[in-house]
A and B are shown apart, each in its own frame.
Chain A
């Protein structure tokens, strides 16, 4: 079988302020090749298609099986996980760019810490710290497990935020991932002790009201989270919480 070539075009940027340049790479095709493995091959032999030696491409990746959420990037224009982007399913040349909505660190690596800040802002955790042993937690009903499990699959890849027309510097929108985690922790028998605080947080500037329901988030999510369902449910609860707060004075 003749050796097939895989063509890649990668947007490079040495520092956050450096000008962006495109570099082309030709790799030998291998069965089962994906974008992360292609980037590893470039790292092993960083030579461009025109034979020029270059630096290895900087990118985030870890698990290589779409479970850690590190390797989100734009591949042929669309945000997705590089590890599950099989080369044989992609149109060539494969154009690879960093996510566009997050501060660039270098090449394909971006700073996605805004998601962590947002999760902290809505207290996306189950509070169990105490001065004594609190004992076993309450039972979780199977019906609640059915709701919670898909939401717990979020890998914090930020694809839902990248594709959202409302997630930008003007709105400071919190994004679908954080809203889904509010739905998850509000449905947890111990986590729901912070329910009201989470709902009030989401009514702040950049909160759930900024959603324009373009539904790109649910289309792009690599883990098929029911993001639009979560936005609807949490929207209603935020509204009811604000109404209660207003009437209670």
Chain B
């Protein structure tokens, strides 16, 4: 059953298509995804973990930190442009990347392949966790930008639920893992660590960094559930002396 065919229109090849040399825009979208993971999302994660660490100093210090952050100029613009939208894009495009990959860890259980798979699962944990975390802590319940003194109690009430505590602990470890390996991947894929030795050394640095972040994060969680600040006041009185000078008005 030979059918006449125009030789100038090649038939669709079966199997994986060859490179579409120089065509399309996936390069731009993929590199944007990669860059956003470091800046601003990674930078924001660092800020968030450092701010959380203030909880170890108690409800007043934690509230003061929340007030300081909300006193930044154009804070709502910063929040959307440098936090919400980048995370949304990074998360959604990340899921798209995952769906297009075909994991073969069963046949090739090698270290790099495990990390490739782990980066996808930790990313999924992160996006699900961040979704509920932003909804419940930022947009539901008492509004913290208006009542920074209520920050400690709000988190403490959330973590009083042992299921929620487990979610926070798992998410903390998954996100620190994702970020630490993400930095390593960024360096490898942007050609910053092009040699095997460089990648190995940088791997140790990223592992130590990720571990340090996870320990800091878990210590902050401990501040809310440990015995030190049990039953924190719903709205902690904030001392202006504890806050940076530019944090608010000089009147008490």
- Could you tell me the distance in whole angstroms from the C-beta of A85 to the nearest C-beta in chain B? 15
Residue B24 at the chain A interface, CB threshold 8 Å: yes
Given that A165-B113, A168-B102, A226-B196 are contacting pairs, would A121 and B191 also be in contact in the complex, using a CB cutoff of 8 Å?
no
> Across the interface, do B19 and A121 meet the contact criterion of CB distance under 8 Å?
yes
Residues A170-226 near B (CB distance < 8 A): 170-174, 178, 200-207, 209-216, 219-220, 226
Is A103 interfacial (CB-CB < 8 Å)?
A: yes
Q: Do A200 and B22 form a contact, CB below 8 Å, given A114-B17, A210-B30, A212-B101?
A: yes
**Beyond A206-B26, A233-B194, 18 extra complex contacts between A and B, CB < 8 Å:** A103-B15, A122-B19, A161-B16, A163-B107, A165-B116, A169-B16, A169-B17, A170-B100, A171-B101, A178-B19, A200-B21, A205-B23, A215-B113, A219-B108, A219-B110, A228-B188, A229-B196, A238-B27
CA distance A121 to B97 in the complex (A): 24
The answer to whether B16 touches A236 (Cβ under 8 A) is no
Given A165-B103, A172-B20, also A216-B108 (CB < 8 A): yes
Number of residues of chain B lying within 8 A (CB) of chain A: 43
A213, B101: Cα distance in complex, Å? 12
Closest chain-B Cβ to A144's Cβ sits at a distance in Å of 16
Q: Is B73 an interface residue (CB 8 A)?
A: no
Q: Can you give 12 A-B contacts (C-beta < 8 A)?
A: A101-B16, A166-B100, A168-B16, A172-B20, A178-B19, A205-B26, A207-B20, A209-B30, A214-B113, A215-B113, A219-B112, A232-B199
B 144-193 contacts with A by CB, 8 A: 185, 188-193
B16 near A78: Cβ-Cβ < 8 Å: no
> Do B15 and A169 touch across chains, with their CB atoms under 8 A apart?
yes
Asked if B8 is at the interface of the complex by the 8 Å CB criterion, the answer is no
- Tell me how far the C-beta of B114 lies from the nearest C-beta in chain A, rounded to whole angstroms: 9
CB-contact partner of B190 in A101, A166, A226, A235, under 8 A: A235
A125 near B: Cβ within 8 Å? no
> In the bound complex, do residue B189 and residue A235 qualify as a contact, i.e. CB atoms below 8 Å apart?
yes
Report the minimum CB–CB distance from B28 to chain A (whole Å). 8
- The reply to whether B189 and A211 contact each other, CB–CB distance below 8 Å, is yes
Please state if B14 and A214 are interface contacts (CB–CB under 8 Å).
Answer: no
Q: Is the C-beta of B250 less than 8 angstroms from some C-beta in chain A?
A: no
What residues on B are CB-neighbors of A206 within 8 Å?
A: 17-20, 26
- The residue on A at minimum CB distance from B193 is A232
- Give Cα A212–Cα B108 distance, bound, in whole angstroms: 15
B227 within 8 A of A: no
Judge whether A237 is part of the interface by a CB distance below 8 angstroms: yes
Q: Across the interface, which residues of B come within 8 angstroms of A111, CB to CB?
A: 14-15
The residue that A172 contacts in the complex, of B17, B110, B190, with Cβ under 8 A, is B17
Verify A78–B108 contact, CB threshold 8 A.
Answer: yes
Whether A233 and B23, one on each chain, are in contact in the complex, defined by CB atoms closer than 8 angstroms, is no
